Structure 1
């Protein structure tokens, strides 16, 4: 009797255990992509990164990069394995203090299998060690790392992180950063945020440069500029550090024009804060590379990077305005999808028109008329590109910039200055250090303006051909004004910065 009772109890217990274990989902692999429409394999699923600690050693004579990145993350699901976006040769991976196995799924996907499954909601510490020649590494058909005559540049969009640190490479997963680089004496290293070590001797012949970005930052906005730079440090009125750097290979006249532009960054940032809301970061500045080193400027967070060629014809304050406007539109408020790139470039371009208006060099309306009528006539193929959905191969087409800015200007005319600037400030405040999409922007603009903007945005962002203009749109009689709240903005700014 006792034996039979035990047998029945064991069977019941086994059945209960079977039901219990069957009801629990087994750990699953994290997704190899973040779900971006244009770049489905960029970013990863299954975890959220909170911090990157990147420690590197760089050899300028050979372009060798060695180091380790420590990633602090939180699991968003039970994980049996997960992916990192990374292209360099990996030598070891540890997850939560134990060696992990790893394989390359593609030229920029590193698949990591931890020794123990990871439970949803638990912290993850990942340490990746690597050693490679970044300029020799091809991923997605190209090499984004740029070796220069005196060092290297890790500056690009949307792909750059793969060539110097492993990451969850999508703008929707922001994190704080510590970047520390060991280089030979006499070589400078500039990065984002605040310097925590400035050419600190490590051992004979080598110095360490360290930078900290405390605010959330998208992976493509982290940068390195390694080489020969004249560097300058100052402090803004709000106490935040200002760091500017100019490559010593610039000829003296171009270097002077660059300084005449970039040294106004603090002034321009304060001007932009009066329109878009408080500056969202704790450091400022800019970097100017050698002429032709990269061929473009990029809004790297807190410290945009400019190609020296941009200043060959003289000062270029408008370019500085564009990249600094991105600190709000693109950096603080990141893209929810790469197809929404006009939310970055259209607004940054329009900021240039607003600066021109402020400096009495042409109103936004005058510039808009010129762009619409003369720069891009009706038969220009420009009008066939849809700024709201340009396609991955036209992500940086001029239509994204100019037609995007025309859309912004037309919105200003439709709703009036007071509501227009209220929309801009509400957008940057609501989504500060987060991300946003075009439908979200439309909803906010409709809420504040009280207007249905669906037909307007459909025409300007998603319809091929040059839109017809209404009777008041871009009319010569239209004279833009600052928002009615401008005196309050100025008074508040002066009170904060006496």
Structure 2
């Protein structure tokens, strides 16, 4: 409990000075903030509490798109609270806080803000059990005119960035508040329910229905928590290191199905390679999901989801490398602000360069030179700043491609040994948490022993094409000398006023 103290002094008629006694008064508990302080998305996340665990227990009917169940949230208050917010857009039937019914209502100005008012005010550093029971049809729910719930012919996909949880479980929806998860979803027997982490068991409680129970034991951001329901072919095995390896394929992928399997089934190989650059794999399971209903790929923790069109030209290890590189850059070490997106996309894209070197399909020098020369100096591409692109350009192609060029420029400036030491140290120090671009810059200067302000300023924070490529070459090279690793790669991502679908498939632009 905080107290305030006031002191004053006065002079009596006799000339004796006295100091007024200090007085204390307790500040009344107030509401938690409706946002986590993100400069791009002020309404994302909430203040006043930290979540440690989500238990999401649902029943889903694919035929009608009806979703019902209860999410139990374990959290601790960080201040005295008269009320607090959860990010959630579905219809709520009841809320209990520490087993006591609480009042609740959606904010009139923002229907994705569920305001919960406990019967009694909450003390600071108090343990909370928050149970939210709800039922709705997610595909009919719009927030800011959008929905992240994608109804499919035989199920649904809860997959998107920077937000998707509001359509299926209440949360503190910002990457700075990560938690562990239990996700349990009951679906008809002819459907599968796929989520993150380990499939701990499948159970039957009634005829015609099966419950799929998943557990994520490492800190996980809300937008990286996903659900895919459909008539998937589910494959279960183990990696060479003994981790559970679970993949799922929509049988309607058609002619893309063999190439999807030929790529995603090599995920353990991709992880093994990425460990040489980034350090030990940070999670307890591996896998992937392929579907024709998404339009992009996303790095859900332990189990990325890919649109089938990524495999229309055959196997595509480039996208598998990209999304699994995010398991380190973005998932284990999450961004502190959404403007720090370069820490996710620049390094995941550069991982494709590293794989190309490994596979003998072009060196990183060759790919960087070709990519630099692919955009003329007057191309709008060079007007987007990867270090602070703005919410409207957060998933612009420049964040990926110019972002990767910035990473390559760093590699050339500090040398091989220091470069990979920076990457591995970053992961070691920040594992399971979140971080900022400023922190990465400071670490790179500390390890390399070099002043890098000009390099970052040029590649991340200055509009216009740098005068020299990241290799230091002012002249172009022939495109014939380089073969891009990502044949049939996606185009510039879709842009929405609030939500972005990353890695979208819209053409032949250099994409990831």
Is the TM-score greater than 0.5? yes
Decide whether the 8 Å contact of 2:368 with 2:470 is kept in 1.
no
Q: 1:215 aligns with which of 196, 214, 218?
A: 218
For the residues of structure 1 that align with 2:435 and 2:472, how far apart are their CA atoms? 27
Q: 1:328 maps to what in 2?
A: 328
Q: Distance in 2 between matches of 1:328 and 1:247?
A: 27
Q: Where does residue 67 of structure 2 map in the other structure? A: 65
Which aligned pairs between 1:460-475 and structure 2 lie closer than 5 A? 460-469=459-468, 473-474=472-473
Rate the CA distance shift 1:470–1:128 in 2: closer, same or farther, 3 A. Answer: closer
Please report how far the alpha carbon of residue 186 of structure 1 lies from its aligned counterpart in structure 2 after TM superposition.
Answer: 1.2
Superposition deviation, residue 297 in structure 1: 0.2
Q: CA deviation at 1:470?
A: 7.1
Which residue of structure 2 lines up, in the alignment, with residue 345 of structure 1?
A: 345
Kept in 1, the 8 Å contact 2:77–2:123? The answer is yes
Mapping for residues 19-30 of structure 1, pairs under 5 Å: 22-30=24-32
Specify which of 106, 113, 116 is matched with residue 109 of structure 1. 113
Equivalent position of 2:366 in the other structure: 366
Secondary structure of 1:305's partner? strand
Q: Deviations over 1:151-171 (max 9, x none)?
A: 000000011000000000000
Question: What TM-score does the superposition give when structure 2 sets the normalisation length?
Answer: 0.87
The alignment partner of 1:207 has SS state of: strand
Find the partner of 2:174 among 149, 165, 170.
170
Partner of 1:97: 99
- Offset of residue 23 of structure 1: 2.7
Please say if residues 468 and 474 of structure 2, whose CA atoms lie closer than 8 Å, have aligned partners that are also in contact. no
Report the equivalent of 1:421.
Answer: 420
Deviation at 1:24, TM superposition (A): 2.2
Confirm or deny that 1:81 pairs with 2:80: no
Shift of 1:90: 0.7
Structure 1 counterpart of 2:246: 243
Report the Cα distance in structure 2 between the residues aligned to 1:157 and 1:19, rounded to whole angstroms.
52
The separation in 2 between residues aligned to 1:41 and 1:31, in whole angstroms, is 9
Secondary structure of 2:362's aligned partner: coil
TM-score, normalised to structure 1, is 0.89
- The corresponding residue for 1:435 is 434
Which residue in 2 is equivalent to 1:129? 133
Q: Residue in 2 aligned with 1:393?
A: 392
- Cα RMSD (Å): 1.6
Contact 1:365 1:474 in 2 (8 A): no
Q: Distance in 2 between matches of 1:181 and 1:418?
A: 46
Q: CA contact under 8 A between 1:234 and 1:243: conserved in structure 2?
A: yes
Which structure 2 residue ranges, 5 or more long, are not aligned? 1-20, 478-512
Structure 1: which 5+ residue stretches go unaligned? 1-17, 479-498
2:237 is the counterpart of 1:234: yes
Q: Secondary structure at the match of 1:203?
A: coil
Q: Match for residue 256 of structure 1?
A: 258
**Equivalent residues of 1:108, 1:140 under 8 A apart:** no
Say if 1:430 and 1:471 are closer, same or farther in 2 by CA, change over 3 A. Answer: closer
Q: Which has the higher helix share?
A: 1
